[in-house]
Amino acid sequence: MSDLALLGGTPVRTKIFSQSNTIGEEEKIAVMKVLDSGNLSQYVGSWNKDFKGGPMVQQFENDWAEAFGVKYCHAVNSNTSGLYACIGACDIGPGDEVIVSPYTMTAGAIAPLIYGAVPVFADIDEDIFCLDPKSIEANITPRTKAILIVHICGHPTDMDAVMAIAKKHNLKVIEDCAQSPMSTYKGKFVGTIGDVGIFSLNYHKHIHTGEGGMIVTNDPVIAEKVELIRNHGEAVVEGKKTKDLWNTFGFNYRMTEMEAAVGIEQLKKLPGLLDRRIANANYLSRILGELNGIIPPVVKEGCRHVYYQQTFKFKKDIIGVHRNTFIDAMKAELPTMVLRESTPIIGCGFAPPLYLQPIYQQRLHKCSFNCPRYDGSVSYEKGLCPVTERMFFEEVFTHEYMRPSFSKRDLEDVVNAYEKVYTNVNNLKAYEAKKDEALV
């Protein structure tokens, strides 16, 4: 094998990987039909038949309901706005606490703050990186109103345990399924097990509409509230004769007809795209799992992992260098971008623990933290969630080399790069020492 590219050798591959473009003729035709109709959105923020949106939005919702076996679906313009709508629809407000994950995209913890509530971070499970039920239970107080779980990277949370805790303490369960469409837990789709679930349709996701989201629930009360919050609820409640006005003030979270038309076509492709993604991930897990010290993703019994990202644990004591050094070397061996995307397709874990962000460190949202109705004292200290911190700073790395667009040949290059770095890891020690010296 030649020298590591990080140390001046020839990289395994320089040809950029092809973009995972799931948009094809079907979406183009569907969008052209909408454009020809001139009807790009049919929403009206008052109580009449257009309150629920136009034909494409309604068809997309019906198709999603059928595909996921759920009663009510509401298309929204992002998973973020969907999370906000769900917090509102679960009647969460000032003085309340919501248990959230520190190891997720930032919107998952901000959502309670939007309604004046306080996010409380529980720790994650060290195998699947979703909230650990033991830590959820340890963080429950008389103020806890809901648990906002995230099926992170595509693996389901331990739903039996979460639902048992919720039942015991009378809490709502909100499932953030942004990264886990058609991931299943004991035969049920995630998003349909708790009180309400939200899917993302942004352009990074398994399928997409550019930006977008879908809220799913079997609860008619939550469904009605979500619908009001999505579309200027306060202007509608009189006409609709709504009795429960708590949190029904609305926003504009509406999806357009063109996005919905794309979504209808994308949804048809989802099962095939998932099969390909899972097959690629299994192949990489099998081969890379043979490298002592690199631990491929765990798939718990009864669960279907849909691999938004493929997570590995890195054992520094066995391999001999820090994970970050190994990832630097991997980045030098392979192109780490896919065309216009600026997100690297290999990196050091998912996201830094959210409670370390300035907004929490400085308690910037005073309406939540200083609210006279709030009688708790939440902690956001470093060290709060030791497993999350260990995973992010030391152990986990993620890649997206299992995307459905990756061919057998692409996967072989990926394997060659890992094997090359792994077998030459001793050569990285001097590089690592120099890097450490530079930091002193």
Ligand X SMILES: Cc1ncc(COP(=O)(O)O)c(C=O)c1O
Residues that bind ligand X (CB under 6 A): 78-80, 104-105, 107-108, 150, 176, 178-179, 200, 202, 204, 213
Q: Minimum distance between the CB of residue 119 and ligand X, rounded to whole angstroms? A: 14
Query: For residues 200 and 248, which CB has a smaller minimum distance to ligand X in the complex?
Result: 200
> CB 199 → ligand X: shortest distance, Å?
8
Q: In the complex with ligand X, which residue's Cβ is closer, 128 or 236?
A: 128
DSSP-derived 3-state class of residue 101: coil
Counting other chains too, the contacts that 284-291 makes at CB distance below 8 Å and 24 or more residues apart are 284/310, 284/401, 284/402, 284/411, 284/414, 284/415, 285/310, 287/415, 288/312, 288/415, 288/418, 291/418, 291/419, 291/422
Instruction: Find the length of the chain.
Output: 440
Contact 316, 336 (CB under 8 A): no
Select 287 or 387, whichever has its Cβ closest to ligand X: 387
Is residue 336 within 8 Å of 345, Cβ to Cβ?
yes
**Contact at 8 Å (CB) between 47 and 239?**
yes
Q: Which is nearer to ligand X, 116 or 213 (CB)?
A: 213
To the nearest whole angstrom, how small is the minimum distance from the Cβ of residue 174 to ligand X? 11
Compute the least distance from the CB of residue 105 to ligand X, in Å.
4
d(C-alpha 49, C-alpha 40), whole Å: 16
Q: Which is nearer to ligand X, 150 or 216 (CB)?
A: 150
Instruction: For the CB of residue 33, give the shortest distance to ligand X in the complex, in Å.
Output: 25
User: Least distance to ligand X from the beta carbon of 215, Å?
Assistant: 12
**Strand, helix or coil for residue 14:** coil
Q: 182: part of which helix (H) or strand (E)?
A: none
How big is the chain by its Cα radius of gyration, in Å?
23
Query: What is the spatial distance between Cα 92 and Cα 95, in angstroms, rounded to a whole number?
Result: 9
Query: Among residues 107 and 122, whose Cβ is nearest to ligand X?
Result: 107
